[in-house]
Amino acid sequence: MLSLARSFILLLLLSVPCVLQAQTRSIGFNTKMIEDIIGVKGTANTEERVFKVSFPRTDVPVTVDGWVMKPFMGLTSWAAFRKGVEKESMVMGDLVLFEDEVNPVMSVALENGLNVTALHNHFFYDNPKVYFMHIGGDGGFQTFATAVKKTQDKIKEIRAVHPQPMKGFPGAPLPAGSSIDGREIEKTLGYSGQANSGMFKVVIGRRATMPCGCDAAKEMGVNSWAAFAGSRENAFVDGDFSVLESELQDVLKTLRSGGINIVAIHHHMTDEKPRYLFLHYWGKGPVSQLVKVLRSALDKTKHE
């Protein structure tokens, strides 16, 4: 009986490499390498030739409309890999993030070769609030596997320090009243703006052609804008960048490297030409610092 058991174990050990080799052949790339880098087991879809790793969010309880959500119901991060055409691989994925995780994780993704393609909510009445950051890219398997691993490591790092999601951005409280002088903003951005009760706003138009053949520009919502409030040394800015798809990654990298938070990435229209994406942002700090970062981001676009 003992000999039979040993034979079975030996057969099992010998069969594992064969299964992995067969999977590699059917998928077209080394899936074990991805598992080893990321540190989780994945699943292969041989019909689509895709290998997928998943990360259920079980570390922080989430309720939606008062019901305790299970990862199966949409609280699972994932990344899917397949062999590329022009480059070694293609990756796509969706990361489930709490508000205080979004921007640190976005920075990690961007710094390690991933593109960030959307950021939005999937639920109403969720507690704590959950956001979904979509990622993608073409490049090397090892690069992307490492990048995905680093996003998960950043999440764990944040939750280790704050087991529950934070309720606000760090930094000094903002003044109740505003006293923004728009002259510095206009000079740095190169566009005129409008003052209102100590606040200041600049709107910069772009142009699109809609399916009806109509021209849509600044007043129809095809614009980027920045609104400042607070004081010269303790201000915040919120706004929106309208970007071409080819501009998105550079603008995201510029804003994040300058400490400005991204709060949404989505579209506002359908079937416009050229196609625009809109990213909403929120930043805190001295006016001079904020406006300098925004000017650098504008330089990555073709705003007129």
Q: What residues does each domain of the chain span?
A: 27-161, 182-298
Please give the pLDDT value at position 2: 52
Give me the percent of the chain exceeding a pLDDT of 70: 92
Please provide the average confidence, as pLDDT, over all residues in the chain.
Answer: 93
Q: What is the pTM of this model?
A: 0.90
pLDDT of 54 strictly over 90: yes
pLDDT single digits (tens) 150-201: 999 999 999 999 999 999 998 888 899 999 999 999 999 999 999 999 999 9
Please give the pLDDT value at position 40: 97
Instruction: Tell how many helices (H) and how many strands (E) occur in the chain.
Output: 7, 17
Q: Which residues pair with residue 94 across a beta bridge? A: 78, 134
pLDDT of 256 strictly over 90: yes
Where does the pLDDT of residue 24 fall: very low under 50, low under 70, confident under 90, or very high at 90 and above? Answer: low
pLDDT of 16 strictly over 70: no
> Distances from the Cα of 257 to the Cαs of 135, 177, 214, in angstroms?
18, 29, 37
Report d(CA 194, CA 199) in Å as an integer. 8
Determine phi and psi for 67, rounding to 5 degrees.
-100, 135
Report d(CA 252, CA 237) in Å as an integer. 16
| CATH fold group of domain 27-161 | Alpha-Beta Plaits (3.30.70)
The answer to whether the 27-161 and 182-298 domains have the same CATH topology is yes
Q: What's the length of the chain?
A: 304
pLDDT of 288 strictly over 80: yes
Q: Which CATH class is domain 182-298?
A: alpha beta
Please give the pLDDT value at position 170: 86
Place of tokens 């390498």: 33
Nearest Cα residue to 298 out of 241, 238, 222: 241
